């Protein structure tokens, strides 16, 4: 796709795409890891006392970070699955109309 008034500045191919298989694998591996981290740090923070080390505030921060990474992984997983589904339905030779 060429954008009028804009020239290419890099050497990447015109049809460059991200590695959907690798992104799918990474999402499938790390979403459960970050979800487990979110639960672990949240439970640990709820049971930690004011004088404990690490501090409950630090544990809550780690739980929030893991939660955000879980959500980002889920969003990326849904994008990858939608792109793979769209590419498979648009592939030549698959003119059955069903997906």
Measured between alpha carbons, how far is 40 from 50 in angstroms, rounded to an integer? 18
- In this model, does residue 35 exceed pLDDT 90? yes
- In this model, does residue 28 exceed pLDDT 90? yes
Cα diameter, the chain = 66
With 0.85 as the threshold, say if the pTM is over it.
no
The confidence band for 24, taking pLDDT boundaries of 50, 70 and 90, is: very high
- Percent of the chain as helix, strand, coil, to the nearest 5: 65, 0, 35
Q: What does the pLDDT average to over 54-63?
A: 95
Amino acid 99: pLDDT? 45
Measured between alpha carbons, how far is 76 from 29 in angstroms, rounded to an integer? 12
Q: What does the pLDDT average to over 72-99?
A: 81
Phi-psi region of 55 (alpha: psi -120 to 50; beta: other; left: phi over 0): beta
- In this model, does residue 62 exceed pLDDT 80? yes
């Amino acid at each position: 796709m060429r954008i009028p008034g804009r020239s290419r500045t890099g050497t990447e191919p015109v049809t460059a795409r991200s590695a959907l298989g690798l992104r799918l694998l990474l999402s499938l591996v790390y979403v459960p890891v970050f979800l487990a981290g979110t639960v672990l740090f949240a439970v640990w923070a709820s049971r930690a006392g004011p004088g404990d080390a690490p501090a409950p505030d630090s544990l809550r921060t780690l739980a929030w970070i893991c939660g955000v990474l879980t959500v980002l992984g889920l969003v990326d997983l849904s994008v990858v699955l939608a792109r793979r589904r769209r590419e498979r339905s648009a592939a030549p030779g698959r003119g059955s109309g069903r997906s």
